[in-house]
Every structure is written in structure tokens, then in C-alpha cells.
Amino acid sequence: EDVLRLTGLRKAYNPGTPLELEVLHGLDLRLQRGELTALIGPSGSGKSTLLNVIGLLDSPTDGELYLLGRPTRDMNDEARTRLRNEAIGFVFQFHHLISAFSVLDNVLMPLMIRHGKPTAEDIELARGLLAEVGLADFAGQKANQLSGGQQQRVAIARALVTRPALLLADEPTGNLDTRTAESVFELFRRINREYGCAVLVVTHDPRLSSSCRRSIELVDGRIVSDSGEAFNQP
């Protein structure tokens, strides 16, 4: 089953104005359950734009985007938000943790947004994810007491707490040192193996991307190479 499918996907900023700038020029792509895929390409090639569109944070100008088999073009905002919360987890370069909250409450946040007060089950799940990212003993600490690498791991646990089918990560290791970046990537590999969610991760680091089974290169808003293409033909 495809977690994600793009057909002829285009994205222009400021469409219909003199400032119109098309940055994604008709992309076709399929991501299957359990695929760990790196998205690489030079700065300005459209990687962040693509991630925002896939994450339903921004709308395509043309083409179609199917998430979990559902076409999204004609969805209203409410339906898009519901599908986003159901299907997608996000990890950004700057993790946007709430520094005054505990590590555990940061991880619980997406569930609290969803249904208010966390249940005992929620807390068990969040603690399990903290253990998974190596931070079981830090649950009660304030987020700002942790190191950069630790905070990024909290952000990964938070992104997984809703059990997303697709995890999107935009340069999650961009401000980490090499060793810490490698450990965060190792964590993505393990999550991908254990939870079976598809992971799409933007990275500038060729060593990290080459450790992914599939890597997609975007140049000037077009996919110029895709090492997984052969597996993905019907």
C-alpha cells in the first residue's frame, strides 16, 4: 500500500500574480509503508516546499496528492487538518519544544491537542517512546535542561506519539555535530524498522543519505534521480 502518492504535483508561490514562482514542476512519486527515504538536493531546489505540501501544511497548485490512498486536493481545511493529525508526524531542524514544560509533557502534547487530558495509556505510550529514544530517565526534566541532541530525540518521540504512517523530517540533524547526527539517524532507522512507518528525511549530509535504502534528489523543482524507482514501478 502506498502511504503517499504524488501525481503531476506542482507548487507555485504567489500564483496568478506578477511574483508567481513555480518551485515544484510536476512531481510523480510513491512512498510505500516502511520505506526510509532521504530527500537530497541543493539549497533552493524545493525540498522544504515539498515537505510542507506533503505534510498538508501548504497546498499544491496543481496535480494530486494521495495520503493513505485518499485524494487531498478537494478536502476542506478541517478534513486536511484531521488527516494531517492522523497520518503525519513532523520533526524540524529546530525542534520547537516548549522549554518550560517537562520532557514527558512535550511528548504528550500532540495527544493533548487531539483529546485534552492525557489518559494512562497515553502516558504509557509516551514513556515507552522516551525509552525508545534513550531518554527514559529524563521524563520529568524541563526540556531546556537537555542537550541539543537529546532535545532532538524528544522531538522525534513527540512526532511518533500519534503513531503516524508517515514521518517527515526537515534537516533534523542540521544543527547537530556529526556524531550526534549519526545517532539521530540511527534512531530513524530503528523507528522505521520497528514501527514500520514510512520516513522521508531531508538532509544535506551525503553520509546520512547514503545510509538510507532509497534516496531522491531534487534539483530546481524536479526529481533528477531516485534510487528506489525500480522498486516502485507498478
C-alpha cell at 96: 520547537
* Chain mean position to CA 88: 7
Candidates 47-55, 91-99, 159-167, 206-214: pick the segment binding ligand ADP (CB under 6 A).
Answer: 47-55
Size of the site for ligand ADP (CB under 6 A): 22
Determine if 203 is a binding residue for ligand ADP (CB under 6 A): no
Determine the length of the chain.
234
CB of 106 to ligand ADP, least distance (A): 16
Backbone angles phi, psi at 3, to 5 degrees: -75, -40
**Residue numbers 177-196 binding ligand ADP by CB under 6 A:** 179-180, 183, 186-187
Site residues for ligand ADP, 149-178, by CB under 6 A, read 149-150
Q: Distance (Å, rounded) from C-alpha 82 to C-alpha 67? A: 12
Is 72 a binding residue for ligand ADP by CB under 6 A? The answer is no
- Contact residue for ligand ADP among 8, 44, 71, 196 (CB under 6 A): 44
| Measured distance CA(136)–CA(128) in Å, rounded | 8
Interacting residues with ligand ADP between 15 and 34 (CB under 6 A): 21, 23
- In the chain, beta strands by DSSP E: 2-13, 21-32, 36-40, 62-67, 70-71, 88-92, 166-170, 198-202, 214-219, 222-226
What's the min distance (Å) between Cβ of 129 and ligand ADP? 12
List binders of ligand ADP among 78-117 (CB under 6 A). none
What span, in angstroms and rounded, lies between the C-alpha atoms of 132 and 135? 7
Cα 208 from chain centre:
16
CB nearer to ligand ADP: pick between 162 and 180: 180
Binding residue for ligand ADP (CB under 6 A) from 147, 206, 207, 224? Answer: 147
Contact footprint for ligand ADP (CB under 6 A): 13, 21, 23, 41, 43-49, 133-134, 147-150, 179-180, 183, 186-187
